[in-house]
Structure 1
Amino acid sequence: MQGDCKTPAPGKVQVGLIGCGIGKSRTPKMHMDEARALGFDLDYAFLDMDDDCRSSKPLSQILDEVEQEGYAGVNVTYPYKIDVISLLDGLSENANMVGAVNTVVFRDGKRFGHNTDLWGFSESFKLGLAGAKSDDALLIGAGGAGVAVAHALAKCGVKHLSVHDVDLDRASGLADHVMESFPHVSAHAVSDLEDVLVDKRPDGLVNATPMGMAKLPGSAVPEQYLRPDIWVADIVYFPLETQLLKDARAKGCRTLPGSGMAVYQAVRAFELFTGRPADPTRMTQTFDGFDKKPTL
């Protein structure tokens, strides 16, 4: 499928992923393995907009093509999570709240947009950081992923949210957006990480920037600002242990890797596409299988 410019023939259930540079995504295998475990066929196509056969096509044309070919839906990733909204007939509550869509379902001639990133982070947070104090949190990154995480944190009980971004206006806009959706939350933009982490001392922090990815090494938080009583979450999952998480573990912090959000957003998307509940444990095993070296 990957790199094939012919859209795969629809199987019993046909879905796909639209985005740029998506060749290393673990989502397709999670969906296909889960369908196989449940006893039906699902084909998940890489629809990479960087491929020559699609690079000259607008997103609207790709959506038209896959809908006409009988796809049950598509996941949407960078850089189309906001652009796709104008091409849809309706939005779920989460998608409308976040203002971004990562899952499109085709049903009865209509296109419905969902945001499973919000639910994915919420589930990962509740399970991976169960019992952690979370009244006050710092979010680093106010882009598309950061918007979903900010709303997820509010849903998970955060009452005071500091938002840091290289674009202070974007951080301020997100803070205002969160308070509109959750009047009980006090959110504000911050320009200086040291002021927040050293003086305000939040209960935890989330990195929602690309910093830490294999192609963008480093940490979004200087090591000296970390302390043992703070929890640290990262949405980056390639590599699974980012420099931020490595530093945090060395300091004795509770940590939450990006794998949880990646798995749970896929769990929810699978259910939306197929109408069948997915097994999070099984999908996690598929996700983790990417990091296991084959035995001879």
Structure 2
Amino acid sequence: MNSQVKSSKSFLCGLIGAGLQKSRTPPMHEQEGQAQGLRYVYRTIDIEQLGVGVEALPELLRAAKLMGFNGLNITHPFKQLVLPLLDELSDDARALNAVNTVVIKDGRMTGHNTDWWGFAEGFKRGLPDVARNCAVQLGAGGAGAAVAHAAMQLGIQKLYLRDVDPAKAQLVADSLNARFGAGRVVVCTDLEAAMAEADGLIHATPIGMANYPGLPLPEALLNARHWVAEIVYFPLETELLRVAKAKGCRVLNGGGMAVFQAVGAFQLFTGSEPDAERMKAHFASLGA
């Protein structure tokens, strides 16, 4: 009944970041648009492919607005750099100080954050019954801030937060403690001691991505009682997950977060409710 109405709508969206050529986000968005009877085009705007640096972000945003884009997803390394360039921020984006979704409407750009909800939905489905007394999180950047917020929403009582920039970790910890209760999030200064106390590990740095191979912590700090939740989804099985599985850990790959943040972004871009299970199935069909 609605297909004829929907088919008259067209959307031009995109993904801005670095090292995006193997991203599953564009086909996942386009297929869901097609399934809903929309004319939906989703472009990749990769600064590595364009041969430009992070300083090109204002120009890329301006070009997207001039070319009639309806929305943009924002990924590494721009989730925080984009903040001062936007006209408005949603409550979530403001609280998290990070944006992964920008809606362009009436010449204005509004930043949102669907990362935290995406991680939480993936976690609830993939690790529904794990202990949540204490966890260690590596990474406090744009994605890390969202994931730490999700950790609080998921009921993790104490979170040790570690980043290569301790000041960045402290800012995220202070913000979360103000919202969720003093002392819930602590900047991690002794990773070995924190892992000995923790039930699980959340990984929210780029290490493990195709361009950043390796492990984000010493292998010896992982043991079978830990659960491990990853946000990197290309490759779907990172070195961290391979090592963790070999040690007997329960693991969660980054696919759930990738799918559910896209579900949230699609709804913001189009105003249509996406079929989350259909998007999840399409993500899985794209291969490892």
- In the TM superposition, residue 280 of structure 1 has moved relative to its aligned partner by 1.9
What is aligned with 1:170? 168
Deviates more, 1:148-157 or 1:212-221: 212-221
- In the TM superposition, residue 133 of structure 1 has moved relative to its aligned partner by 1.7
SS at match of 1:162: strand
Q: Which residue, 58, 74, 77 being the options, matches 1:76?
A: 74
SS at match of 2:224: coil
- In the TM superposition, residue 105 of structure 1 has moved relative to its aligned partner by 0.4
What is aligned with 2:113? 115
SS at match of 1:181: helix
Q: Which residue, 275, 284, 287 being the options, matches 1:288?
A: 284
- In the TM superposition, residue 57 of structure 1 has moved relative to its aligned partner by 7.7
What is aligned with 1:236? 232
Q: Which residue, 252, 262, 266 being the options, matches 2:248?
A: 252
Residue 272 of structure 2 corresponds to residue 270 of structure 1? no
- In the TM superposition, residue 108 of structure 1 has moved relative to its aligned partner by 3.1
- Cα deviations by residue, 1:175-230 (Å, 9 ceiling, x for unpaired): 212112222652111122211122xx212110111222233222223333222222
Q: CA RMSD in A?
A: 2.1
Conserved? CA contact 1:204–1:230, under 8 Å: yes
Q: Which residue, 217, 222, 225 being the options, matches 2:218?
A: 222
Partner AA of 1:236 in structure 2: V
What is aligned with 1:92? 90
Distance 1:20 1:244 in 2: 22
Distance 2:79 2:165 in 1: 19
What is aligned with 2:127? 129
SS at match of 2:257: helix
SS at match of 1:153: helix
What TM-score results when the alignment is normalised by the length of structure 1? 0.87
SS at match of 1:80: coil
Distance 1:51 1:215 in 2: 14
Distance 2:241 2:126 in 1: 14
Judged with a 3 Å threshold, the aligned counterparts in structure 2 of structure 1 residues 56 and 230 are, in CA distance, closer, same or farther, namely closer
Partner AA of 2:20 in structure 1: I
* Unaligned ranges ≥5, structure 2: 1-8
Judged with a 3 Å threshold, the aligned counterparts in structure 2 of structure 1 residues 22 and 89 are, in CA distance, closer, same or farther, namely same
- In the TM superposition, residue 251 of structure 1 has moved relative to its aligned partner by 2.2
- In the TM superposition, residue 51 of structure 1 has moved relative to its aligned partner by 4.3
- In the TM superposition, residue 158 of structure 1 has moved relative to its aligned partner by 1.4
- In the TM superposition, residue 54 of structure 1 has moved relative to its aligned partner by 6.4
Distance 1:184 1:279 in 2: 38
Judged with a 3 Å threshold, the aligned counterparts in structure 2 of structure 1 residues 161 and 53 are, in CA distance, closer, same or farther, namely closer
Task: List aligned pairs for 1:11-50, cutoff 5 A.
Answer: 12-50=10-48
- Percent identical across equivalent pairs? 46
Distance 1:281 1:87 in 2: 34
Q: Which residue, 138, 153, 157 being the options, matches 1:159?
A: 157
- In the TM superposition, residue 100 of structure 1 has moved relative to its aligned partner by 1.0
Partner AA of 2:235 in structure 1: P
- In the TM superposition, residue 285 of structure 1 has moved relative to its aligned partner by 2.1
What TM-score results when the alignment is normalised by the length of structure 2? 0.90
Partner AA of 1:265 in structure 2: Q
Distance 1:222 1:79 in 2: 25
SS at match of 1:83: coil
- In the TM superposition, residue 12 of structure 1 has moved relative to its aligned partner by 1.2
- Cα deviations by residue, 1:253-273 (Å, 9 ceiling, x for unpaired): 211101111111111100100
SS at match of 2:14: strand
Task: List aligned pairs for 1:186-197, cutoff 5 A.
Answer: 186-197=184-195
What is aligned with 1:149? 147
- Cα deviations by residue, 1:114-146 (Å, 9 ceiling, x for unpaired): 011111111111111112221211101122221
What is aligned with 1:6? none
